[in-house]
Amino acid sequence: MHNLLPVLEALANPHRLRIIAALKVDGRNYVSQLARDVGISRPLLHLHLAKLEAAGLVTSKHELSNDGKALNYFEVADFRLQLDPAAIVEAAKHIKLEKE
């Protein structure tokens, strides 16, 4: 559970929750269409997708469309989050705080 903090940080943003929901409901999607579906700009979507992917919550795959365009498809990763006091104790062992 040492990756609990990145997962919680990724899920703490309403845009990222909406992105996961859209991908789960509509299935995998490419960036331009997903940006339209979620109602945010592509550059902002890329930032959120990078955070979600780093946390292991979404995966991506580059593919070529029939007309030769390179499309980056994203889909929700198979994940399960168990949050209880024991998981927090284990995650806390891996937290490194900066000295003030």
How confident is the model over 45-86, as pLDDT tens digits?
999 999 999 999 999 999 888 888 888 999 999 988 888 999
Is residue 99, in this structure, part of any structural domain at all? no
Is residue 24, in this structure, part of any structural domain at all? yes
Q: What is the pTM of this model?
A: 0.84
Residue 58 tokens read as: 């979404």
Give me the domain span that covers residue 20.
4-93
pLDDT of residue 61: 95
Map residue 96 onto helix, strand or coil.
coil
What is the domain-level CATH number for residue 60? 1.10.10.10
H or E segment to which residue 83 belongs: none
The amino acid sitting at 90 is: E
Residue carrying structure tokens 């959120």:
48
CB 49 within 8 A of CB 94: no
Helix then strand count (H, E) for the chain reads: 5, 3
pLDDT of residue 68: 86
In the chain, how many domains are there?
Answer: 1
Is residue 98, in this structure, part of any structural domain at all? no
Q: At 100, is the pLDDT very low, low, confident or very high (cuts 50, 70, 90)?
A: low
